[in-house]
């Protein structure tokens, strides 16, 4: 994959743009470096999807939003590899919520992807707890305009959490959490409850296919059944 031009030049060394988001120090360093005011954009990717992640930042740059974008990766090595080619990225990693290891028969890539999926909820809760507004998005989004004008206009400006109509599911591709206004703790409690439920689910339930083997297919809300 050829290097992409930087949306904005950076004088910082790549190592100072990588954060351990499973530590309080790493969270604090990431917020100090990446958040603009009270705003941060969080998007996720492993190495297989890094092209989409880079493309998203390029789109954000067209609206002067790339400076607040933080890539949540599955492991430190993904961040190191990414910044070796795109040194202007900001990248953090998390081990996510343990428990998907029981689905190892589905393949390492599958279990690591689901672990990263769990990590985005864990890191979102941690960030909002630090009183920052987080726009959490999948990497395969098309950004045609800055979403902030809409989010700061009535009636959306009244809500602590903004989700798309698909928000009845946990596997959402986009949401906005107003952590800067979460002094009462309601939003923080809600997000930590999502994490708590995920942990309970992973500790107590093993999804299985028709043959009785562990399978994550039941988690994937975009799988279509084969025609008879």
Q: Which of 92, 82, 166 is nearest to 134 (CA)?
A: 92
Whether 54 shows a pLDDT value over 60: the answer reads yes
User: Are 88 and 9 contacting, i.e. CB atoms less than 8 angstroms apart?
Assistant: yes
114 in a domain, yes or no? yes
Q: Which residues pair with 91 in a beta bridge?
A: 18, 71
Number of structural domains, the chain? 1
50 in a domain, yes or no? yes
* pLDDT tens, position by position, 147-191: 999 999 999 999 999 998 765 556 678 999 999 887 667 999 999
Domain that holds residue 38: 18-212
Radius of gyration of the chain (CA): 18
Q: For residues 158 and 61, what is the distance between their CA atoms, to the nearest angstrom?
A: 27
189 in a domain, yes or no? yes
CATH code of 125's domain? 3.90.550
For 12-26, 30-44, 158-172, 197-211, which range has the lowest pLDDT when averaged over its residues?
A: 158-172
Instruction: Work out the average pLDDT over 48-57.
Output: 96
54 in a domain, yes or no? yes
**Comparison of pLDDT for 102 and 56, the residue scoring more:** 56
Whether 89 shows a pLDDT value over 80: the answer reads yes
Q: For residues 137 and 75, what is the distance between their CA atoms, to the nearest angstrom?
A: 19
The pLDDT score that the predictor gives to residue 172 is: 79
7 in a domain, yes or no? no
5 in a domain, yes or no? no
The pLDDT score that the predictor gives to residue 85 is: 95
67 in a domain, yes or no? yes
């Amino acid at each position: 994959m050829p290097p992409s031009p930087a949306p904005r030049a950076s004088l910082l060394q790549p190592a100072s743009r990588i954060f351990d988001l499973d530590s309080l120090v790493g969270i604090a360093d990431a917020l100090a470096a990446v958040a603009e005011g009270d705003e941060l954009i969080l998007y996720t990717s492993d190495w297989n999807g890094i092209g989409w992640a880079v493309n998203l930042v390029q789109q954000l740059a067209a609206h002067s939003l790339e400076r607040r974008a933080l890539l949540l990766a599955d492991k430190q090595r993904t961040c190191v590899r990414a910044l070796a080619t795109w040194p202007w990225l900001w990248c953090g990693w998390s081990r996510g919520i343990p428990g998907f290891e029981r689905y190892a028969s589905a393949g390492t890539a599958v279990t690591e992807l689901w672990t990263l999926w769990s990590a985005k909820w864990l890191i979102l809760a941690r960030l909002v707890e630090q009183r920052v507004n987080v726009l959490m998005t999948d990497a395969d989004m098309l950004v045609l305009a800055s979403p902030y004008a809409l989010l700061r206009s009535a009636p959306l400006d009244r809500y602590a959490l903004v989700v798309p109509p698909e928000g009845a599911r946990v596997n959402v591709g986009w949401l906005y959490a107003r952590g800067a206004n979460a002094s009462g703790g309601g939003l923080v409690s809600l997000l930590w409850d999502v994490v708590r439920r995920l942990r309970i689910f992973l500790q107590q339930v093993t999804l299985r296919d028709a043959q009785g083997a562990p399978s994550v297919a039941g988690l994937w809300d975009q799988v279509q059944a084969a025609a008879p």
